[in-house]
């Protein structure tokens, strides 16, 4: 039986922190499906710069990812209901409330585990593991 893992995120400017998260998520099961957030659902930080289809395609090109799909525009749990995963892997610093996710999964009758990926330390002093920090450096150096 295939163990399906879902990871999700905005993935606006792909960086080594994203790759680490998705590789750890892939290691939690046999198949990794990544749900790429729609712009309308990004309300906890600045809206993404890149279009959703572009972000999906770039994430889908990573070796750790078996499939990348776009999230639902109104209800982020719809793709989870459709995929019926064994694990939902959250990034170590994602804003989600694990207990609230678990409660909503139970309410919808979805039996899966919620796990967090570990943090990744920068490999070099100047390595950036945050889209926000990448944008800030671009603006500082080229703005």
What would the pLDDT profile of 90-99 be if each residue is shown by its tens digit?
999 888 899 9
CB atoms within 10 A of CB 15: 16
Rounded mean pLDDT, 72-91 = 96
- Mean pLDDT for all residues in the chain: 94
Query: Which residues are paired to 89 by β-bridges?
Result: 7, 115
Known binding-site positions = 10-11, 15-18, 93
Beta strands in the chain (DSSP E): 4-9, 31-36, 67-70, 87-90, 113-116
**CATH class of segment(s) 4-142:** alpha beta
pTM of the model: 0.94
CB atoms within 10 A of CB 27: 12
Q: How far apart, in whole angstroms, are the C-alpha atoms of residue 16 and residue 3? A: 25
The pLDDT value recorded for residue 129 is 92
1 Cβ contact partners less than 8 Å away, ≥ 6 residues apart: none
Query: Which residues are paired to 34 by β-bridges?
Result: 7, 68
Residue with tokens 């990004």: 42
89 Cβ contact partners less than 8 Å away, ≥ 6 residues apart: 5, 6, 7, 21, 24, 25, 28, 115, 116, 117
pLDDT tens readout for residues 15-61: 999 999 999 999 999 999 999 999 888 887 889 999 999 999 999 99
Known binding-site positions for ATP = 10-11, 15-18, 93
């Amino acid at each position: 039986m295939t163990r399906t893992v879902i990871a999700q995120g905005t993935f606006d400017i792909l960086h080594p922190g994203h790759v680490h998260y998705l590789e750890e998520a892939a290691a939690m099961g046999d198949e990794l499906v990544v749900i790429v957030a729609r712009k309308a659902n990004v309300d906890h930080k600045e809206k993404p710069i890149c279009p959703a289809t572009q972000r999906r395609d770039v994430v889908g090109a990573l070796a750790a990812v078996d499939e990348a799909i776009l999230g639902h525009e109104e209800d982020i749990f719809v793709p989870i209901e459709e995929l019926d995963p064994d694990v939902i892997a959250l990034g170590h610093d994602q804003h989600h409330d694990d207990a609230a996710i678990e409660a909503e999964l139970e309410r919808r009758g979805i039996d899966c585990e919620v796990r967090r990926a570990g943090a990744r330390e920068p490999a070099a002093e100047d390595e950036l593991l945050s889209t926000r920090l990448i944008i800030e450096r671009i603006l500082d150096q080229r703005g």
